[in-house]
Every structure is written in C-alpha cells, then in structure tokens.
Copies of this chain bind each other. A is one copy, B any other.
C-alpha cells in the first residue's frame, strides 16, 4: 500500500480541487518554506479560483501569493501572522475579501468548532513514509514539532503530506499518524531550514533594548512570581530574548528552577533546560535549529499541539497555566490595548501569533517595547489596530518608564514600592509625543481589508485599505 503520488499537480487532480475551497498550510519552516509557493503555482496552472488560504503564517518568501490574489485564485486569507510584502499588498486592497487574523489558539478553536472548515491541508513534512506517517524532526528540512499542523491533520477533509525525505515504512518517530493522511508527494525540497531563524529571533544589542530588558527583569523579580516552579513565555523579538537571557542569569544566581517555558522555543530556552534551570520545555514551534535538534533528542523538551498550547475552547491549555509572558508590541494605547498586527503606517507587519493567547492566559503579562520606533510614538492615544485587549496586559516596560495597568492592584502595589521608574501610561504617551510630535492620522479608505479576532473569536478591530 502506498499513498505516494508523483506530483503536486497529480494530487490536486486526484482530490478534485475546486473553486471556493479552503486550503491550509503550516509555517514551521517560516521564511524558509517552499511548500506554499509550490502548491499555489500548480493550483494557478489548474485554474481554480476563489480559494481561501488558511495559512498559519505568511512570510516574505511567499511574495508570489500576491499574484494569486490579483488573479482571484486566492480571494480570502485566514491567518495568524503575516510579515513581508503580502501584508502590504493586503492593505493596498489586493485581496478580494477581508483577511482574518486569529491568534494561535483562536485558529485551533475555529478549526475544532468547525467555524474554519479546511478542505485540503498541505503539510510540509520533513520526513514521511509511503503511508503518510510524518515527523518534523528528521530529514534535511527538519523544523521541529509541527504543533500548528495538528488540527489541520485531524479536521481537514483531505490531508496531503509534501516531503523531501521519503523513508521506508514505518517511519519513526511519528508526529502525525498515517490514519490522518490521504496522500504523500515527494518534492526536491520543502524548504530551507536555515531560514527558520530570522532577524526577529536574534537577541538585541541595542542599548535601549537592553535597558528595557533589564527593567523587565526587575519587574519579574518584584512580581512575587519569580520563584522555583514558575513558568514563562517570551516572544521571539530581540528585547524579549534579552529578557530571557537576563532571566537565565538571574535564575542561576538565585538558584531558581523554573517549571516550564512555553511557545516558540529558541536556543536560549534550550540552554536553560540543559543547565537544569527549567524542568521542561513545551514546544509548539522551534524558532531555531538548536530548538529543532533538542526537541528531537531530549525527552524533557516536549512537542505539543497548538490546541494544547493555546486553544481557549479546549478543556485546558498550557498558556492558561503560565505565570509570566514577556511580549512585544507595535503600539500600546493608554488603556493598555496592544497592536501587533500593523505598524504606525497602517501596514500589516505581523499578527497575534500567540500574543493574545499568552497575554490572556498568564498571570503577569509584560510588554517590552521602546517608547518610540523610527519617528513614531509606540504609546499612543489610539491604536492603528487593536490586537490584544488591555485587560490582558499588566505592565508596559519602555526605556523611559514603566506603566502598570491599574486593574492589576497587586502588581501595581509591588512595583510602586520598588525603585523602578513607575509612571502612569498617559505620562509615557506624553513623553513619546513630546519627542515625535503627535502622529499624523493615517489616511484610510472605508474598505475593510482585514478583521482581527481575539482568541475567543470576537472581532476586536478592522484593518482598512490604505490611502497614500
């Protein structure tokens, strides 16, 4: 028995791809992913139209997607994250219907509740056998735990593994079992694993960033949560990683052993695990090749599904057990709402990813951000796009002061009594505006090009087409 089909074109015909279908992709290969482009190229040749692209992440490498939007092959996008030219194309109105931006957990929720129905899931498979058993940890394009692809594998009508490493049946270890997979297609390369690690996963060297990281560490130390058994998640931004680095040193110094670190996993966290400073890592996505290697080799480094990571409608999920999240922001308003989807020019530059999930789940959510970015204030009166609601944010740390959400009385009291430069958030905004001037309002058309959901599915904001 074999499910191996000779080419992507052949499998698309076999499964009878049709106008209006929803096709899905996972982004564990990030900016090194070749699979989405390969599949869309073949789909373009077949000539089907009006597809929904349910991709967990879209990167600069996916620029050819813009042409498919223009040609009405892809008319809707459902995603957690977009960086690069596709985001710009969307705010320029090139996608027929509004893109939907979900959090990681929100996407898992939408799939499991059948709100997001996937017709065909294409799974970039670093290793597969002829029956469709898949793992993400072996082969030349090994990319880690495949956590984001798990709901797609379970709920899509048809599941296609695209691999560049076909091995004898039965593959081992197995991450996605054969009973879920319809076909296997072998291609030359599914991606370039070297590009999993990107500019956003390098620790900052900027002195402002390091100052912010140092403040954030002090907030953690003062929070009452920094003790043996604590857990945390950091974003993969340069400042967040610097916080992880400082945290590492402080844990060592104080002999504090953490319970788990969660989320996108980096070398920084792998080192902490290996030094015995963490009991386990819960890895839904590896952010570099050290994390890919470690999740394969170290049983204390666990691959988890995205539902276990963050699905708010699941019976529980790991983010809801978090003590501390250290996250980034593109903008923060004076009600502590955070924008992480668009920049101050109104261009799509990201998405919630796990931001919304871990901010809501964790006991203490710290936003680390410079107060101004380029010539724009980060703390503002009104966000370009609300992504994560202010009720989920506890502390905003900038190089010029730290603001505490007055809703979190406990942390407010703890920090007011510290040596840290605690200021009202309106003060941060004031300082920012003094430096940059009040930003010019961005000019938009009325046309909605994106809808931003909270993890529970509620729309928190709309993205509109840009007027230049």
In the assembled complex, which residues on chain B have CB atoms less than 8 Å from the CB atom of A427? none
Interface residue? A280 (CB, 8 A): yes
Smallest CB separation, A112 vs chain B (Å): 9
- Interface members, chain A 297-323 (any B CB < 8 Å): 299-300, 302, 304-305, 307-308, 311, 314-318, 320-321
Interface residue? A9 (CB, 8 A): no
Given contacts A259-B168, A299-B173, contact A178 B132 (CB under 8 A): no
In the assembled complex, which residues on chain B have CB atoms less than 8 Å from the CB atom of A311? 179
A321 in contact with B173 (CB, 8 Å): no
Give the CA-CA distance A11 to B373 in the complex, in Å: 53
A280 in contact with B318 (CB, 8 Å): no
Q: What are 18 pairs between A and B in contact, CB < 8 Å?
A: A131-B316, A131-B321, A154-B154, A168-B259, A169-B260, A170-B318, A172-B280, A172-B299, A172-B300, A172-B302, A174-B302, A177-B304, A178-B308, A178-B318, A179-B307, A179-B314, A179-B317, A181-B316
Interface residue? A164 (CB, 8 A): no
A132 in contact with B177 (CB, 8 Å): no
Smallest CB separation, A98 vs chain B (Å): 29
- Interface members, chain A 144-168 (any B CB < 8 Å): 154, 159, 168
Write the chain B residue with the least CB distance to A313.
Answer: B179
Interface residue? A55 (CB, 8 A): no
Interface residue? A394 (CB, 8 A): no
Give the CA-CA distance A320 to B179 in the complex, in Å: 11
In the assembled complex, which residues on chain B have CB atoms less than 8 Å from the CB atom of A181? 315-316
Smallest CB separation, A217 vs chain B (Å): 24
Among B1, B305, B315, B320, contact of A316 (Cβ-Cβ < 8 Å): B1
B305 in contact with A170 (CB, 8 Å): no
B3 in contact with A316 (CB, 8 Å): yes
A159 in contact with B299 (CB, 8 Å): no
A179 in contact with B302 (CB, 8 Å): no
Size of the chain A interface, CB-CB below 8 angstroms: 39
Give the CA-CA distance A94 to B230 in the complex, in Å: 54
Given contacts A131-B316, A172-B280, contact A179 B259 (CB under 8 A): no
Among B172, B177, B279, B302, contact of A305 (Cβ-Cβ < 8 Å): B177
Interface residue? A282 (CB, 8 A): yes
Interface centre among A260, A280, A316 (most CB of B within 10 A): A316
B177 in contact with A308 (CB, 8 Å): yes
A170 in contact with B259 (CB, 8 Å): yes
Interface residues of A (CB under 8 A from B): 1, 3, 131-132, 154, 159, 168-170, 172-174, 177-182, 229, 259-260, 279-280, 282, 299-300, 302, 304-305, 307-308, 311, 314-318, 320-321
Given contacts A1-B321, A316-B3, A320-B1, contact A305 B169 (CB under 8 A): no
B1 in contact with A180 (CB, 8 Å): no
Smallest CB separation, A113 vs chain B (Å): 13
Write the chain B residue with the least CB distance to A177.
Answer: B308
Q: A168-B229, A178-B316 are in contact. List 7 more A-B contacts (CB 8 A).
A: A131-B316, A154-B154, A172-B300, A174-B304, A179-B311, A181-B316, A182-B315
Smallest CB separation, A443 vs chain B (Å): 43
Given contacts A179-B305, A179-B308, contact A170 B321 (CB under 8 A): yes
Write the chain B residue with the least CB distance to A311.
Answer: B179
Among B173, B308, B321, contact of A169 (Cβ-Cβ < 8 Å): B321
Write the chain B residue with the least CB distance to A262.
Answer: B170
Smallest CB separation, A439 vs chain B (Å): 40
In the assembled complex, which residues on chain B have CB atoms less than 8 Å from the CB atom of A259? 168-170
In the assembled complex, which residues on chain B have CB atoms less than 8 Å from the CB atom of A172? 280, 299-300, 302
A260 in contact with B170 (CB, 8 Å): yes
A282 in contact with B170 (CB, 8 Å): yes
B315 in contact with A178 (CB, 8 Å): yes
In the assembled complex, which residues on chain B have CB atoms less than 8 Å from the CB atom of A280? 170, 172
Write the chain B residue with the least CB distance to A296.
Answer: B299
In the assembled complex, which residues on chain B have CB atoms less than 8 Å from the CB atom of A317? 178-179
Give the CA-CA distance A305 to B173 in the complex, in Å: 13
10 tightest A-B contacts by CB?
A179-B314, A177-B308, A179-B307, A179-B308, A178-B316, A131-B316, A172-B280, A172-B302, A182-B315, A170-B260
In the assembled complex, which residues on chain B have CB atoms less than 8 Å from the CB atom of A300? 172
In the assembled complex, which residues on chain B have CB atoms less than 8 Å from the CB atom of A318? 131, 170, 178
In the assembled complex, which residues on chain B have CB atoms less than 8 Å from the CB atom of A178? 308, 314-318
